[in-house]
Structure 1
């Protein structure tokens, strides 16, 4: 699947969710706020489900990622979007110390110390496994805005319903 199509689809979904939240809060529209709450809850649960599946099926996830990377390398020159995605990942997401960054500047006697028989993906998996507490804490911190959005929208819905009930 083309990465541009995936990014556009994700952008459309994000626009819909934020539109429901913004307009629902501004106009005090309970239906839009409920749609916002439902969508945000579904996104959170989907992320949680994918994370749990990735954890329990880590071997299959690692194999699928390896197959994707190999397929992407084969078709590197065929798709400009895929080429740009791989270039970006290699420039920005690869931890420099894992792939022998700067080894060519070293002398031959020093360079042999930095030869890595394992690939970057294996190094990343080992790093994540050895820092599971940090990864879990980071995941929790990144999920807090979603949880706060659900809770605050529910509070706003309750306040609007109380206000409507007090008028009647």
Structure 2
């Protein structure tokens, strides 16, 4: 049903306006804040992971991510049985693909190193997953100088160490778990990343809500402003008709 506007008993002054300046300027502020946030986000993403975006957000990976989040109620309610296996499979696919392309892009390499140091992990399931990379592959036919090695981000670093030894992971894949654990993190990153995501769902949901709330307010203000503009147009038409025909 169309919204009806109360018709004034007589012509109002030309300076009268239904359009609220408060709504107009608040809407302008929210739009400005939104586009400023978008620009900052784009710049941050380009600087942090420009090389990995094409891989992570490919059609296959994006489709899987949508599938994981296909039931938002289950995710928000912490219904872990359907969420964790799907999330683990998708994270495993992404991490294993990133391991294969580790040396192909510097931004991807820095992102993986940051993740392994932040979560104190190495590889997908274990440090031996680095054999999937052609440079770290541990087969006897691999001529690479990094054969059977792992990236330095897998190493157990001494807090007092000033200079990082980038060769600390040399030959670690050839060692057993117990022996290697004295020098590197032997546990994989998949379970740690999935567990971190699942334990921070409410935090991630709050961030998402915080990003969506200004847009919701902007939509409401925009609709309010549209209605006020329509009322103003009707008022102007009414005043014009009243001036042309006082008996109208």
TM-score relative to the length of structure 2 = 0.35
Instruction: Give the structure-1-normalised TM-score.
Output: 0.48
Q: Which has the higher contact order (CA 8 A, sep 6+)?
A: 1
Q: In terms of Rg, which structure is larger?
A: 2
Higher helix share: 1
